[in-house]
Each structure stands twice: as structure tokens, then as C-alpha cells.
Structure 1
Amino acid sequence: MPFHQAVAYRSNMQTVTDCAVILSASVLLALSAKLQIPFFPVPMTMQTFAVLGIGLMLGPVRGVLAVFTYLLEGVIGLPVFAGAPELGSGIAYLMGPTGGYLLGCVPAVLISGGLAGLGRDRGLVFTMGALIAALAAIYGSGLIWLGGVVGFDKPVLRLGFFPFILGDLVKATVVALAFHSIRKSV
């Protein structure tokens, strides 16, 4: 096989592999949304765990594409969001109280994937810092959105932050430890 054909073949195979990885990550996000403890108005799910892991493992570009794919699946009406289809689906679901948290997954995966890529040799503390910054992106957009939906006169932090932060910090720690363990073994 001539060199230019070999390069084109490798490029095509990489594209197919990337698409499969991105689609698989979007399915992981959908499954993680279904693992939930019902809270009102925001459910406790395993999505932060999945988003942080996707950012670290796929990097910022493929990670963002995976989150966009997941969000698109939800917007077109597939029951991928927590509580869907019982609590609605499509764009209407995204406009509800959890929409800001879901949209916050985009910058979160950019942050976790980008900072982890910069600090691959910097150790666990640097990775934890990247994951905490990613959580801040999720909570920042989520709380602002939640306040807009339920009203800022309501106890927004009590509804959308305090019940979740400890669990999310534990999830971030597990993701960071797993990431460093996998990286050492590869």
C-alpha cells in the first residue's frame, strides 16, 4: 500500500474510533443520569462522576463532543436526562431547573480535560484542582440557572448546592485516584 493510502486509511480508522468513543461516552452520560437519588428540584445523579472522568480520559475536544452529543440526544427527545421521560424531555427539559447544570458540563469537561492535559506529570493534587475547577463550572452555571427558574428569593444554595457538594467532592476524588491508577498502569 502506498504511503499516502496508508496515511488516509489510518486517518479514517482514527475518525471511526473517535466517533465510537464519543458516542460511547454520551451513552455513559445517559446511564449515569439514570443512577439517581430523587431530590427536588435537582436530582442527585452520577453525572458529575461521568463528566469528570470523560474530561480526564478523553481530553477537552473529544470530551466536549461527547457532552454535546449527549445534550443533542436529549434535545431531540431521547430519554437520556435524569427523570426522562416521566419529567419531560427535549428542549423543555433542558429549560427546567437542571438545565444550567447540564450546560455546565461543557465548560467542566473543557476544564478537566484541558488542565489534566497540561498537568499530566504534576500528580494527584493538580488533577484534584482541575476537577474542583470543573465542578465550579457546573455549580456556577447550575445555580445561576436554578435561581432564574425557581427565583432568587428561594434558598438556591440549599436547593442546588449543599445537598450535592460533599458527594461531588467524593466523586472527584475517586475519579482522580482512578485516573492516576490507570495512567500508572498503562
Structure 2
Amino acid sequence: MSSENVVKTREKMKVLDLVYVAIGAALIAICSWISIPTAVPFTLQTFAVFFVLLLLGGERGTIAILVYVLLGAVGVPVFAGFSGGIGILLGNTGGYILGFLFIGLIYILFTKLFKKKIVIKVASLVLGLAVCYAFGTAWFMHVYMQSSGEVGLITVLGWCVFPFIIPDLLKLALAVVIARRVEPVVR
């Protein structure tokens, strides 16, 4: 392969990476709009985060998550309920949104340290989700107590984590099945 062809191939891959990242961020936004409002809304965001990481890989998937968060931070209505703005990120549920980045970072770490077997990928996503829950819950408690007074950890877990565990694990399973079917087409 000539050096000119190598340069063209690298440029094409960079453009393709940008397209994949944009599509990944858009998918997360679309899935966030499908929501059932509660203290922490039930959305398909976590499905999209899992799917994007599984399909695009750790680096591109995490960049897609970051783009999604930054778009929302500057006011683009990409969050649940067609909302956006830094106020959402600084509000009660902002820690869960920022926690998606931890899912991506843990996914990168696990898939770099261990082989990219499906068991490792799923384990990293489950661990990342647990870290997202922990970070989001701590954030929720801090913001909630500043505005509304004391609240117990079990109460907050009852509002923000326990109702989401089984649905999020089902979303993870669905993301694995769909990503495995779509992956040969994308690669």
C-alpha cells in the first residue's frame, strides 16, 4: 500500500470515527427522550449507553457519552423530558448522567486489561453501572439535602436505585443481543 493510500485510509477512519461518535450521542439523546417521569426518570438512556459502548468500543463509545453530556450541558435538550442545560447536571439527577462517563471509563479499562470477551464486556458494564449508581446516589443526596433537608440513604436508594436495577439489567441484556447482531454490519 502506498503512503498516499495509507494517509487516505487514516483520514477516512477519522471521519468514520466522528460519524460513529455523533450517531452514538444522537442515539443516547433519542433514548433519553423515551421516559417515564419519576424522581429519577425511567429512560432508555442506560440501554443506549450500553449499546454504544458495546458497538463502538470503549474509546468511541465514551467519547459519544461525553458529547451527549456536553450537548446537554450547553442547553441542547438531549436529557429526559427534552431538557438540557447545566442546571440539569447540577440538579438531583445530574450525578447519574455524569455517572455514564464512569461506565465508559470502566469499560475501557476492563477491555484493555483483559481480553474483549463478552463476559468481560458485560462484567465491566455491570461494574460501571454500580459505580454510576453510587456516584449518582451520593450526588442526589448532596443536592437533595441542600434544598430539602435530611434524607436517609435507604430512602434515596428506594427512590433512585432499587427500582432501576432489574430494568437496567434487562436493558444491558437487550443491548448485548442487539449489539452482537449489528456488530458485523458496522465493522
* Rounded Cα–Cα distance in structure 1 between residues aligned with 2:67 and 2:107: 18
* Rounded Cα–Cα distance in structure 1 between residues aligned with 2:104 and 2:25: 13
| Partner residue in 1 for 2:37 | 38
Residues 76, 90 of structure 1: 8 Å contact kept: yes
Matches within 5 A, 1:34-183: 34-40=33-39, 42-85=40-83, 89-116=84-111, 118-120=114-116, 122-123=117-118, 125-151=119-145, 153-154=151-152, 155-182=155-182
Unaligned runs of 5+ in 2: none
**How many residues matched?**
179
1:184 CA drift (Å): 7.9
Residues 54, 109 of structure 1: 8 Å contact kept: no
Q: Which has the higher helix share?
A: 2
1:137 CA drift (Å): 2.0
Give the alignment's TM-score, normalised by structure 1.
0.86
Once the two structures are superposed, residues 109-159 of structure 1 have per-residue CA deviations (whole angstroms, 9 ceiling, x without a partner) of: 222344346333x44x44332221121121111111111111252421011
Which shifted more, 59-68 or 148-157?
148-157
Residues 143, 156 of structure 1: 8 Å contact kept: yes
Residues 68, 78 of structure 2: 8 Å contact kept: yes
Once the two structures are superposed, residues 12-63 of structure 1 have per-residue CA deviations (whole angstroms, 9 ceiling, x without a partner) of: 11111000000010000100100111112x1010011111111111122111
* Rounded Cα–Cα distance in structure 1 between residues aligned with 2:110 and 2:174: 17
Give the alignment's TM-score, normalised by structure 2.
0.86
Unaligned runs of 5+ in 1: none
Q: Which amino acid aligns with 2:169?
A: L
Residues 75, 85 of structure 2: 8 Å contact kept: yes
Matches within 5 A, 1:19-30: 19-30=18-29
Runs of 4+ in 1 over 4 A off after TM superposition: 180-186
* Rounded Cα–Cα distance in structure 1 between residues aligned with 2:92 and 2:168: 18
1:183 CA drift (Å): 5.6
* Rounded Cα–Cα distance in structure 1 between residues aligned with 2:65 and 2:77: 15
Residues 36, 45 of structure 1: 8 Å contact kept: yes
1:181 CA drift (Å): 4.7
Residues 33, 79 of structure 2: 8 Å contact kept: yes
- Give the 3-state SS of the residue equivalent to 2:82 in structure 1: coil
* Rounded Cα–Cα distance in structure 1 between residues aligned with 2:184 and 2:68: 30
